[in-house]
Chain A
Amino acid sequence: MTVALVDGNNFFVSCERVFNPRLENRPVVVLSNNDGCAIARSEEAKALGVAMGTPWFQMRDLARQHGIVALSSNYALYGDMSDRMMAILAGFAPEQEVYSIDECFLGLDGLAGSELADCGRRIRACVRQWIGIPVCVGIAATKTLAKLANHCAKKCLAGSAGVCDFTRLPAVELDRLLARLPVGAVWGIGPRLARQLGDLGLTTAAALRAADATVLSRRLSVQVGRIVCELNGIACLALEEVAAPQQQIIVSRSFGIPVQGLPELEEAVASYIARAAEKLRRENLRAGMLHVYARSSPHRQDATHYHGSLMLPLATPSADTLVLTRMALDMLRRIYRRGPVYQKAGVALLELSDAAASQASLLPAAPDNAALMQALDHVNARWGRGTLRSAAEGVRQPWQMKRARLTPGYTTAWDELLCVS
């Protein structure tokens, strides 16, 4: 197997730069929901020492000093740019596995070895020209090695200009390269596994590659054994072109303002349910279990800290916003306590099953109003999300998350297009 891993460099920041060239060569960070922590950083911001996950309030001084530009996350824009990027990349290979919003694997089996790096360069140039996003390409015999090759391409350790092809690298050179990478840089080796492997004296990717797969399978897990095989060029992980069916749908948000009253919490939970149920219906699923929680800030570990949570099965699996809302609000009232300052609430739909293959209940249950839900989804698809909604979601929604530094929906809203004179 020959596989490429293509991913966007500092993807969210790059998306912003396409529509605001003044952000080029400046330190830029994109903040998480509610303008909380840094979730994407430009190279310039990384060089200033801004770590992933740094809370915005902690880097304010640094930002003022160095002119760091902080932006709210514009997921509508990033989602559209991601769709464009994945569609472009799909044109380069017969097989594609979209791995995350900004990276995908491409199966390059048909290409001759000498053409691979050239193909990588063409991919890079095309994505850069068509949508303005810089990408790096790692090419290797397995997905795990392709991930590492991509890492090397990004850090300019081997190959040139954002493309790194392990398949043409002499074994000695590959060993030298892997000896410089910590074992934690290997795909699938998290901090805990890295510690365990470190205890066994395996601290670099090269050491893990040279280890005995069978022994590690026995001592740690089959997964680790598989990673060792993959590092040796024996493919154990196939390209997964079809995404696995969703296990759960979670919608949770921090509030833009501190919330204490039940009415605001009810509005928030009803809105999250509406969003989750819409996703549920789009996937043609029903939920059999509902989880609702509300909590105060985890940074406030005093007596007033509270985390209320409840999970309950539905009598009959449902995809009806109104059925789910009624139940979620009932659950919320049971976990609500007067006193705490709530900072976040969330809902999760679990035990998802195919709507077409659901089992009828013995008990008489409130049936889903499928026609009403279809009308609801059509209206909101045509006129915008939230046009038609349950009264429980509220009107003004003062608790909505803060996105004070949000850029326009350049590709997703007619009245927010790029203006040019």
Chain B
Amino acid sequence: MPRLSCPEGVVVPPGAPLLERPVPAGFPSPAADYYAGRLSLDAHLIEHREATFFVRVAGHSMTGFGIHDGDLLVVDRAGTPADRSIVIAVLDGAFTVKQLCLLPEGVLLRSGAAGHADILVAGERELVVWGVVRWSIHKV
């Protein structure tokens, strides 16, 4: 069997493919020079890898914003929340997903469904914005 040789300094981990794709033995692929890798959802959905967490939605309070029960939220903690951002907030120690509205009279956490009241954060209540929701992934 012929020995496989590599340029000096190249370490091939066991099981790693030596080439990205099989090489045709006959006519060389005209696409080879243009190969740029397949699209990655991770690269598309995640801006800050280290600061991104996945959160599951339970309940129907945000359906008006296109966020449904069971959806998967991509939450980024690296950015600063802006007015009207959809955020994961910690209100008095409990997690909630709401729209953050910065009003002159205080912070309003808006729900997105009838029957779910908005919450005006005032007085002694403690609010921490845990992260900003970037995407909602909904299974159809």
Contacts and interface: CB of A to CB of B under 8 A. Distances in A.
B50 A84 contact: yes
Contact of B56 (A87, A132, A378, A417): A417
Nearest to B53: A411
A419 B94 CA distance: 11
A418 B88 CA distance: 11
Contacts of B64: none
Interface string A14-27: 00000001101000
B85 interface: no
A382 B130 CA distance: 31
A172 interface: no
Question: What bracket does the count of chain A residues touching chain B fall in?
Answer: 20 to 34
Contacts of B59: 421
A310 interface: no
A420 B97 contact: yes
A421 B53 contact: no
Contacts of B14: 284, 355, 370, 374
B54 A130 contact: no
Interface string B49-77: 11101111111010000000000110001
A323 interface: no
Contacts of A418: 53, 55-56, 95
Contacts of B96: 420-421
Given A21-B128, A88-B50, A131 B93 contact: no
Contacts of B56: 417-420
Interface in A18-77: 21-22, 24
Contacts of A88: 50-51
Q: Which of the listed residues A130, A370, A374, A420 has the most CB atoms from chain B within 10 Å of its own CB? A: A420
Nearest to A24: B93
B16 to A, nearest CB: 11
Contacts of B49: 87
A420 B95 contact: yes
B101 interface: no
A370 B14 CA distance: 10
Contacts of B26: none
B75 to A, nearest CB: 9
Contact of B77 (A22, A131, A378): A131
A88 B52 CA distance: 12
Interface in A277-316: 284
A398 to B, nearest CB: 32
Question: What bracket does the count of chain B residues touching chain A fall in?
Answer: 20 to 34
B131 to A, nearest CB: 9
Interface in A348-393: 355, 370, 374, 378
A130 B51 contact: yes
A129 interface: yes
B15 interface: yes
B77 A21 contact: no
Nearest to A414: B54
A421 B97 contact: yes
Contacts of A24: 93
A22 B92 CA distance: 8
B15 A420 contact: no
Interface string B83-100: 000001010011111000
B78 interface: yes
Given A284-B13, A421-B57, A22 B93 contact: yes
A129 B53 contact: no
B90 A21 contact: yes
A31 B9 CA distance: 45
Contacts of A284: 13-14
B57 A131 contact: no
B48 interface: yes
B77 A420 contact: no
Interface string A311-327: 00000000000000000
30 contacts: A21-B90, A21-B93, A21-B94, A21-B95, A21-B130, A22-B94, A24-B93, A88-B51, A130-B48, A130-B78, A131-B51, A131-B77, A284-B13, A284-B14, A370-B14, A374-B14, A411-B53, A411-B54, A417-B55, A418-B53, A418-B95, A419-B57, A419-B95, A420-B88, A420-B95, A420-B96, A421-B57, A421-B58, A421-B59, A421-B96
Given A85-B50, A420-B96, 4 more contacts: A21-B95, A132-B130, A420-B73, A420-B97
